[in-house]
């Protein structure tokens, strides 16, 4: 039964992805998706509570494996915590500033004022990722790899530092392609500052 349910869910996601691609977020309705999938609207809502949730899952399906790889790469027990954070930073920025994720982030931001998409992305994407990093930092602090501090605040600082050189141009859609070399340098500078604040011996 579970396999059948998952197969149905994946079918809905595939159909919805095609509808969103053809019609866009605004013009796609749950009724339209239901008509394409077949069956009742109640069944559709059993899988996804709203169009915004469904759209998020469509977006998330294409990048979930990449994000999992990013967050699973950090090891709080490593001797070189700065190197682990640099690796994390490079990987995270590489995904966040890839063309596909940039487009999805812009869409979520632009739709936030009049739909629930922004809230869904924030709660299921942003907060989820930040909790994983917060747990990592908390453990690293407990192991004496970083100084004791509020890991939630430290996580906010880490994310802000990593995006500091790109976020303004991104928000105003003035950002061109970001090369791997640029991302590496940005991550290096961000982690230097982070380690100066939260480490015991400065940056590199």
Residues 107 and 192 in one domain: yes
Segment among 29-33, 110-114, 199-203 with least mean pLDDT: 199-203
Burial pattern 76-94, b for ≥16 Cβ within 10 A else e, equals: beeeebbebbbbbbbbbbb
Residues 44 and 68 in one domain: no
Residues 17 and 85 in one domain: no
From residue 57, alpha-carbon distances to 10, 20, 182 in Å are: 10, 12, 30
**pLDDT at residue 202 above 90?**
no
Closest by CA to 58, choosing from 33, 40, 38, is 33
Q: What is the mean pLDDT of residues 42-71?
A: 92
Residues 43 and 134 in one domain: no
- For residue 35, what are the domain limits? 2-49
Residue 161 lies in a domain: yes
**pLDDT at residue 57 above 60?**
yes
Q: Which residue has the higher pLDDT, 56 or 4?
A: 56
Residues 10 and 71 in one domain: no
CATH number for the domain spanning 176: value is 1.10.357.10
Question: Six-digit token pair at 90?
Answer: 């490079």
**pLDDT at residue 203 above 50?**
no
Residues 94 and 178 in one domain: yes
pLDDT of residue 157: 98
Residue 204 lies in a domain: no
pLDDT of residue 105: 92
**pLDDT at residue 7 above 70?**
yes
pLDDT band with cut points at 50, 70 and 90 for residue 1: low
pLDDT band with cut points at 50, 70 and 90 for residue 3: low
Q: What is the mean pLDDT of residues 129-149?
A: 96
Residues 8 and 106 in one domain: no
Q: What is the pLDDT of residues 75-110, one digit of tens each?
A: 899 999 999 999 999 999 999 999 989 998 998 998
Residues 105 and 146 in one domain: yes
pLDDT of residue 122: 93
**pLDDT at residue 114 above 90?**
no
Residue with tokens 């090891």: 75
Asked if 104 and 60 touch (Cβ cutoff 8 Å), the reply is no
Residues 71 and 151 in one domain: yes
Closest by CA to 193, choosing from 56, 84, 33, 86, is 86
Asked if 125 and 56 touch (Cβ cutoff 8 Å), the reply is yes
Distance from the first to the final alpha carbon of the chain? 53
Residue 139 lies in a domain: yes
Task: Report the number of distinct structural domains present in the chain.
Answer: 2
Residues 27 and 98 in one domain: no
Residues 75 and 162 in one domain: yes
């Amino acid at each position: 039964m579970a396999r059948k349910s998952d197969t149905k869910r994946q079918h809905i996601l595939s159909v919805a992805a095609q509808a969103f691609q053809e019609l866009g977020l605004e013009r796609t309705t749950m009724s339209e998706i239901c008509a394409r999938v077949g069956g009742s609207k109640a069944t559709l809502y059993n899988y996804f509570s709203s169009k915004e949730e469904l759209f998020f899952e469509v977006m998330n399906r294409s990048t979930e494996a990449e994000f999992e790889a990013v967050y699973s790469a950090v090891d709080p027990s490593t001797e070189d915590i700065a190197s682990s954070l640099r690796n994390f930073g490079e990987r995270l920025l590489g995904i966040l500033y890839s063309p596909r994720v940039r487009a999805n982030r812009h869409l979520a931001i632009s739709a936030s004022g009049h739909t629930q998409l922004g809230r869904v992305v924030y709660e299921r994407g942003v907060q989820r990722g930040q909790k994983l990093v917060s747990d990592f930092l908390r453990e690293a602090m407990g192991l004496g790899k970083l100084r004791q501090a509020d890991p939630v605040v430290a996580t906010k600082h880490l994310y802000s530092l990593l995006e500091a050189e790109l976020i303004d141009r991104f928000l105003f859609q003035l950002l061109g392609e970001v090369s791997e070399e640029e991302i590496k340098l940005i991550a290096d500078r961000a982690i230097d500052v982070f380690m100066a604040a939260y480490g015991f011996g400065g940056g590199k």
